[in-house]
Copies of this chain bind each other. A is one copy, B any other.
Amino acid sequence: MKIAYLGPKGTYTGEVARNLFPDKELVSLNSIRSVVIAVEEGKVDYGVVPLENFYNGEVRETFDSLIECSKTRIVQESSLEIIHCIGALKGHGDIKNIFSKDQALEQSGKYLLKFYPNSQTIAVSSTSEAASKIREGNILDSAAIASEKSLKEFGLEILDSDICPNNKTRFAVLGRDSPLATGKDKTFLVIHPPYRDRPGILNNILSFFAGFGINLESIQSRPDGKNGYYFYVELNGHEQEPKIQKSIDAIRFSLDPEFKHNDTIRILGSFKDTNWKG
C-alpha cells in the first residue's frame, strides 16, 4: 500500500502520514495538487494533505483540487497540535533573520513582534527546510521556526518552545472509497449557486439545513470570480443519512430546479467526526 503526502520529509503533514500509516510506504510529493491527482489516478492508495489551520484558515488548494476530481474524497480527518519552536545553532550571535514556512511565520507573528521586533522574516518552502538551511550554511545570525523534532534533527538549539500556542492543523486523508456511517460523522459539501449575486441566497440555503435539524460544523463563502459564490459547508451527519440526502435534494432543487448545472452541489466526503476543535 502506498501513501502520498505533501512533503518534503520532516514536515507536519509527513508526521501525520507516518502516525496514520506506520507500516506503509510513504511517498513525498511537492504540492497538494500532485497528492490529490496521485489518489485520483490510482497511483497511490491514500493521500494526506492539510485541510485547515486555526490561524491560517482553510487550505484552498486542497478544496480546489478536490473539486477537479471525480473519484477522490475525504475519507478521514486527523488533527495535529502544531507546537512551533524557534532554534538556532550553538554559538549563534544576534538573530538578524528568521527562516520558516510562510504560514508558520504568520502563525508566530505575535511572538516575533514581541521578542524579535528587529529581525527580518524569510520565507522558505517548509519548516524543515528552514532548519536544514541554517545547518548547511552554518548560519550563525539566524533562527528557524519548526517542530522541536525537526530543529533537533538538524542540530539546532531550542531557543523557545510553543511560540504560537493553541495552534492546530486538521489534515484530510484522501481515498477513492467512502467510509460507512459510524453514527458520528461529518459531511463536506461545496455549494455553487448557478447565478450571480442574489440577496438572501445564503439564508435560503441554511434555512433548509435548519429545517431538517442539521447542524453546521463550519462554513466559508468564497467569490467564484463571476459575481457568484462557492459555499464550503461541513455538516454533522453522514451522506447516507436520509435527512442529509433530503436536505441536499431540497437545496439542489431550490437552486437549480431544471438540473441544468452539474456542479451546484458536490459532496467532498463523509467521514468520522473526531471532534478536532476541542
Residues of chain A having any CB pair with chain B under 8 Å:
30-34, 37, 54-58, 60-61, 64-65, 101-103, 106, 109-110, 112-113, 120-125, 166-168, 197, 199-200, 202-203, 206-207, 209-210, 215-216, 218-223, 225, 227, 236, 277-278
- Could you tell me if A220 and B57 are in contact, using CB atoms closer than 8 angstroms? yes
Query: In the complex the two chains form, what is the Cα distance from A65 to B56 in whole Å?
Result: 13
- Could you tell me if A197 and B33 are in contact, using CB atoms closer than 8 angstroms? no
Knowing A55-B64, A123-B102, the reply to whether A220 touches B219 (Cβ < 8 A) is yes
- Could you tell me if B215 and A199 are in contact, using CB atoms closer than 8 angstroms? yes
How far is the CB of A19 from the nearest CB of chain B, in Å?
Answer: 21
| 5 contacting pairs across A/B (C-beta < 8 A) | A32-B109, A55-B60, A166-B225, A203-B207, A203-B210
- Could you tell me if B113 and A30 are in contact, using CB atoms closer than 8 angstroms? no
Nearest B residue to A278 via CB reads: B227
Which residues of chain B come closer than 8 Å to A106, judged between CB atoms?
Answer: 32, 60-61
How far is the CB of A174 from the nearest CB of chain B, in Å?
Answer: 16
- Could you tell me if B203 and A209 are in contact, using CB atoms closer than 8 angstroms? yes
- Could you tell me if B113 and A31 are in contact, using CB atoms closer than 8 angstroms? yes
Which residues of chain B come closer than 8 Å to A109, judged between CB atoms?
Answer: 31-33, 61, 65
Nearest B residue to A203 via CB reads: B210
How far is the CB of A143 from the nearest CB of chain B, in Å?
Answer: 15
- Could you tell me if B122 and A122 are in contact, using CB atoms closer than 8 angstroms? no
- Could you tell me if B123 and A101 are in contact, using CB atoms closer than 8 angstroms? yes
Query: In the complex the two chains form, what is the Cα distance from A30 to B106 in whole Å?
Result: 11
- Could you tell me if B113 and A33 are in contact, using CB atoms closer than 8 angstroms? yes
How far is the CB of A187 from the nearest CB of chain B, in Å?
Answer: 15
Query: In the complex the two chains form, what is the Cα distance from A219 to B54 in whole Å?
Result: 16
How far is the CB of A109 from the nearest CB of chain B, in Å?
Answer: 5
Knowing A32-B109, A110-B33, the reply to whether A221 touches B219 (Cβ < 8 A) is yes
Q: Which of A37, A113, A223 has the most CB of B within 10 A?
A: A223
How far is the CB of A144 from the nearest CB of chain B, in Å?
Answer: 14
Knowing A54-B222, A109-B61, A219-B219, the reply to whether A277 touches B121 (Cβ < 8 A) is no
Query: In the complex the two chains form, what is the Cα distance from A215 to B125 in whole Å?
Result: 40
The one of B58, B65, B102, B197 that contacts A101, using a Cβ cutoff of 8 Å: B102
The one of B30, B110, B220 that contacts A220, using a Cβ cutoff of 8 Å: B220
